[in-house]
Amino acid sequence: MKKPFVTLEQLEKMTAEYPTPFHLYDERGIRENARRMKAAFAWNPGFKEYFAVKATPNPAILKILREEGCGTDCSSLTELMMSDRCGFTGSEIMFSSNDTPPEEFVLAAGLGATINLDDFTHIDFLKDTIGYIPETISCRFNPGGTFSIGASKEGFQVMDNPGDAKYGFTPAQLKEGFIKLKAMGAKRFGIHAFLASNTLSNEYYPTLAAILFKTAVELRDETGCDIKFINLSGGVGIPYHPDQPANDIAVIGEGVRKAFEEILVPAGMGDVSIFTELGRFMLGPYGCLVTRATHEKHTYKEYIGVDACAANLMRPAMYGAYHHITVMGKEDARCDHRYDVTGSLCENNDKFAVDRMLPRIDIGDLLVIHDTGAHGFSMGYNYNGRLRSAEILLKEDGSTALIRRAETPDDYFSTLVW
């Protein structure tokens, strides 16, 4: 059973100051997880985690992660701007985008960010846009086909289909691209790949690493390019269901180390730095959506209406994604009521849970929707004119801080021309 990182007593104090719904983040959990991540890859002197800003784009969160030694992985103009304003500079910023507008390359170059190109045609586009090719450059690799590592020791099979993904260079394009970039002035190279999402297997990163390490050796031998870093990107997941196994980042780091020593060290590439770009793993479990039961409906099914909706958390409506729900104060009560837990949008998929067995829910009960620390608030929107909620930080000392106020009707109307 999932246990909230906050108590009912704490939430009652918070809701006296901050009306529901709101997203709540656990500073202590975030810091401890960042330190586990760093320790797992401490064997690699150049290791750096570039937090995926798209997962949780909040300055307070980014500043915490910067204090813990992380950089940022940006994919848009505003994410670059936020990183800059939070104090990230130069190589602390990784810029990985696709179908990239020219002004985004201009800003990335101006900030000294490491640019990770998504496509072979972007080589000339980048040169034409900023007037030069940076001396340090990275390219995103897509091996095509279907990626699978079969059943792991955890009993979870990782499968994805890179061949259908819009991202990255083909193997032939990657070789040609490195040769072209080197001729245009690039001196230091990186390789990046993302082959599967939200994997619950300690074998995903080591398997991906082995693929990229072998690719790096081949590219070095065939192009003469100096490969300085290999970026494993994201894909390490979290257990949304309470009965799913959690990844062990220490085991994952050790698996990558073994592949490193088996492949890169004998090839004379033992100085290559390892980068990661995790979002969900870094933040997912350390955020929750706090909402209050406001209505109950008894028709063909039993419904509980809450004051949050898909505008606050899109994943269940968009993907049918599971998010565990705790009825605060009733953690030990029997789950003997079957509910659909719904929001107020004019869409039938605006449901946080369908046929979920929960304790009896009374009007006014506070509900914690778990694992919204990544891709929660960030995917919000304003359909039906619903306003996006506040973000609150539960600090290490137990106090709280408002790190993003809730939207108001004035915010909603501010961009309109009457």
What range defines the domain where residue 263 resides?
27-283
Within a domain: residue 2?
A: no
Structure tokens belonging to residue 280? 């969900």
For residue 355, give the 3-state DSSP assignment.
strand
Sole residue written with tokens 């994943």: 315
List, in sequence order, every residue forming a beta bridge with 351; answer none if it has no partner: 342
Indicate whether 96 and 153 sit together in one domain.
yes
Which domain CATH number covers 232?
3.20.20.10
Indicate whether 275 and 303 sit together in one domain.
no
Indicate whether 276 and 328 sit together in one domain.
no
Strands 147-151, 337-342: pairing kind? unpaired
Closest residue by Cα to residue 56 from 282, 235, 314: 282
Within a domain: residue 3?
A: no
Band of pLDDT at residue 155, cut at 50, 70 and 90: very low
List, in sequence order, every residue forming a beta bridge with 392; answer none if it has no partner: 24, 402
Closest residue by Cα to residue 94 from 53, 42, 129, 135: 53
Cβ–Cβ < 8 Å for 122, 100: yes
Among the candidates 226, 255, 283, a domain finishes at 283
Indicate whether 307 and 345 sit together in one domain.
yes
Share above pLDDT 90 across residues of the chain, in percent, rounded to a whole number: 92
**pLDDT tens-digit profile of 16-71?**
999 999 999 999 999 999 999 999 999 999 999 999 999 999 999 999 999 999 99
Indicate whether 39 and 176 sit together in one domain.
yes
Q: Does 156 have pLDDT greater than 50?
A: no
Within a domain: residue 86?
A: yes
Among the candidates 233, 262, 283, a domain finishes at 283
Residue type, 228: K
Indicate whether 119 and 257 sit together in one domain.
yes
Q: Please give the torsion angle defined by the CA atoms of residues 280, 281, 282 and 287, in that order, rounded to the nearest 10 degrees.
A: 60
69-106 burial string, b = 16+ CB within 10 Å, else e?
A: ebbbbbbbbebbebbbebebeeebbbbbbeebeeebbe
Among the candidates 249, 283, 317, a domain finishes at 283
* Burial of residue 167, with CB atoms counted within 10 A of its CB: 0-12 exposed, 13-18 middle, 19 or more buried: middle
**pLDDT tens-digit profile of 242-294?**
999 999 999 999 999 999 999 999 999 999 999 999 999 999 999 999 999 99
Task: Write the DSSP string, 191-232.
Answer: EE----SSB--TTHHHHHHHHHHHHHHHHHHHH---EEEEE-
Q: Does 160 have pLDDT greater than 90?
A: no
Residues annotated catalytic, as ranges:
346
Indicate whether 225 and 344 sit together in one domain.
no
Indicate whether 149 and 271 sit together in one domain.
yes
Higher pLDDT, 146 or 251: 251
| Three-state secondary structure string covering 69-121 | CCEEEECCHHHHHHHHHCCCCHHHEEEECCCCCHHHHHHHHHHCCEEEECCCC
pTM, to two decimals: 0.95
* Burial of residue 181, with CB atoms counted within 10 A of its CB: 0-12 exposed, 13-18 middle, 19 or more buried: buried
DSSP code, position 236: B
- What is the distance between the alpha carbons of residues 294 and 343, in angstroms, rounded to a whole number? 10
Within a domain: residue 178?
A: yes
Indicate whether 231 and 105 sit together in one domain.
yes
Phi, psi of 256, deg, nearest 5: -65, -40
**pLDDT tens-digit profile of 83-136?**
999 999 999 999 999 999 999 999 999 999 999 999 999 999 999 999 999 999
List, in sequence order, every residue forming a beta bridge with 356; answer none if it has no partner: 339
Structure tokens belonging to residue 392? 């609150």
pLDDT of residue 163: 62
Mean pLDDT, residues 290-312 taken together: 98
Indicate whether 18 and 101 sit together in one domain.
no
Higher pLDDT, 165 or 240: 240
pLDDT of residue 143: 87
Closest residue by Cα to residue 307 from 417, 386, 397: 386
Which domain CATH number covers 320?
2.40.37.10
Indicate whether 277 and 250 sit together in one domain.
yes
Mean pLDDT of the chain: 95
Within a domain: residue 89?
A: yes
* Burial of residue 329, with CB atoms counted within 10 A of its CB: 0-12 exposed, 13-18 middle, 19 or more buried: middle
Indicate whether 390 and 401 sit together in one domain.
yes
Q: Does 335 have pLDDT greater than 90?
A: yes
| Cα within 13 Å of Cα(412), Cβ side | 13
pLDDT of residue 196: 85
Within a domain: residue 418?
A: no
Count of structural domains, the chain = 2
